[in-house]
């Protein structure tokens, strides 16, 4: 097929495989990504992962602060794109942008649409205990992830998956599906199916409070929450009045008062839940590095019977 002229919208690491694969086959006439943001303790400006790759590939990079003033739409229209490809860009495209590409704007969305529309589909699928997710290629329209779906691949969610590990696995899956679907978009053989809006679910952006664990819940629910907020915002508990982060949960038999520390187990620090027990193999105290539970407890004991909460 003839190479398409593509404008690529994307920001985080999840979008990198899609840009890399598209750039091998098609002509990327522009890359739109989020502005550089302060990050880390030094608050140094950090470029989005997509910008880093685009720079390495010598592609034209745009980082607009505004999308609705017509400036970006005019700039991109002048580049005569056939297609917009949008992968975790992080902002909603206004109507004047959606009509620019000749063959439409297409989104790589990390869920089985209409499930988990929104900014954090991977995280909420893990948090809510789903056993399956996937990647959808969707034609974009004005609504939030409401457009017709052109292609779909399913992916199981493993019992030990975190949002981070699942995203790393889905990113290349989405990239391959995108590259396989673009020729059908170009030759008009793609047949998008309309979504059933009556069964749609939402996946809003995570906030820091979403990481707070509630040990009154069953251990399986606590585990799903902890894995779904890893790596951000991280699962937190209150220890001596301060927030501590816990990682890599394992379900264990047993019982106790919700939030009660039961001691160190081979799987990590064991904590009683509403039903069952959960062990975290790694812990991070405020201002400290993330450490194996056994190593941390050797220098900072957490006595059995301590009650953790939020």
Inside any domain, residue 305 = no
Same domain flag for 220 and 194 = no
The total of structural domains in the chain comes to 2
- What the block records as the tokens of 101 is 């590409």
Confidence of residue 264 (pLDDT cuts 50, 70, 90): very high
pLDDT at 253: 95
Same domain flag for 179 and 228 = no
Same domain flag for 244 and 107 = no
Confidence of residue 242 (pLDDT cuts 50, 70, 90): confident
Q: In the chain, pLDDT over 70 holds for what percent of residues? A: 99
Inside any domain, residue 241 = yes
Same domain flag for 219 and 81 = no
pLDDT at 178: 98
pLDDT at 1: 61
CA–CA distance, 174 with 274 (Å, rounded to integer)? 38
Element at 70 (helix H, strand E): none
Boundary-marking domain end, from 199, 223, 252? 199
Inside any domain, residue 81 = yes
Strand order of the β-sheet with 149-156 is 61-62, 27-32, 5-10, 83-87, 105-109, 132-139, 149-156
pLDDT digits (tens, 9 = 90+) for 170-205: 999 999 999 999 999 999 999 999 999 999 999 999
- What the block records as the tokens of 141 is 């329209």
**Helices marked H in the chain — which ranges?**
16-25, 49-56, 71-77, 95-98, 121-127, 163-187, 219-228, 293-299
Burial grade of 66 (CB within 10 A; 0-12, 13-18, 19 or more): exposed
Inside any domain, residue 185 = yes
Same domain flag for 95 and 191 = yes
Nearest Cα to 87, choosing from 150, 16, 39? 16
CA–CA distance, 51 with 35 (Å, rounded to integer)? 9
- For residue 227, what are the domain limits? 208-299
How far does the chain reach from its first CA to its final CA, in angstroms? 57
Same domain flag for 277 and 129 = no
Residues 6+ apart with CB under 8 A from 293: 264, 268, 269, 279, 280, 281, 282, 283
Same domain flag for 221 and 269 = yes
Confidence of residue 78 (pLDDT cuts 50, 70, 90): very high
Boundary-marking domain end, from 172, 199, 226? 199
Boundary-marking domain end, from 199, 231, 254? 199
Residues 6+ apart with CB under 8 A from 114: 145, 146, 195, 196, 197, 199, 200, 201
pLDDT at 233: 97
Same domain flag for 181 and 212 = no
Question: Taking the model in full, what pTM does it have?
Answer: 0.95
Inside any domain, residue 307 = no
Question: Residue 216: which CATH number?
Answer: 3.10.25.10
Question: Residue 108: which CATH number?
Answer: 3.40.50.170
CA distances from 203 to 59, 115, 123 (A): 32, 8, 8
Same domain flag for 109 and 255 = no
Cβ neighbour number for residue 310 with a 10 Å cutoff: 14
For the chain, the residue count is 310
Same domain flag for 77 and 186 = yes
């Amino acid at each position: 097929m003839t190479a398409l002229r593509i404008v690529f919208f994307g920001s985080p690491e999840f979008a990198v495989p899609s840009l890399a694969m598209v750039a091998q086959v098609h002509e990327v006439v522009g890359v739109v990504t989020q502005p550089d943001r302060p990050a880390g303790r030094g608050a140094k400006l950090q470029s989005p992962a997509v910008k880093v790759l685009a720079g390495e590939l010598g592609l034209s990079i745009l980082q607009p602060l505004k999308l609705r003033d017509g400036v970006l739409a005019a700039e991109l229209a002048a580049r005569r794109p056939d297609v917009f490809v949008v992968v975790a860009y992080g902002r909603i495209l206004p109507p004047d942008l959606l009509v620019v590409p000749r063959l439409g704007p297409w989104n790589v969305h990390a869920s089985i649409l209409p499930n988990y529309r929104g900014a954090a589909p991977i995280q909420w699928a893990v948090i809510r205990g789903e056993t399956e997710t996937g990647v959808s290629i969707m034609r974009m329209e004005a609504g939030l992830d409401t457009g017709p779906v052109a292609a779909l691949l399913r992916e199981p969610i493993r019992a030990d998956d975190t949002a981070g590990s699942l995203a790393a696995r889905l990113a290349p899956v989405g990239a391959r599906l995108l590259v396989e679907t673009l020729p059908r978009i170009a030759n008009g053989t793609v047949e998008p199916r309309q979504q059933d809006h009556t069964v749609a679910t939402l996946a809003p952006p995570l906030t820091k409070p979403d990481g707070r664990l509630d040990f009154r819940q069953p251990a399986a629910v606590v585990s799903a929450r902890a894995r779904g907020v890893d790596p951000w915002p991280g699962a937190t508990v209150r220890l001596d009045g301060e927030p501590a982060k816990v990682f890599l949960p394992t379900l264990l038999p047993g019982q106790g008062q919700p939030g009660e520390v039961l001691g160190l187990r081979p799987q990590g620090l064991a904590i009683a839940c509403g039903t069952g027990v959960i062990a975290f193999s790694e812990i991070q105290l405020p201002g400290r590095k993330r450490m194996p539970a056994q190593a941390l407890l050797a220098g900072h004991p957490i006595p059995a019977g301590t009650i953790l909460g939020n």
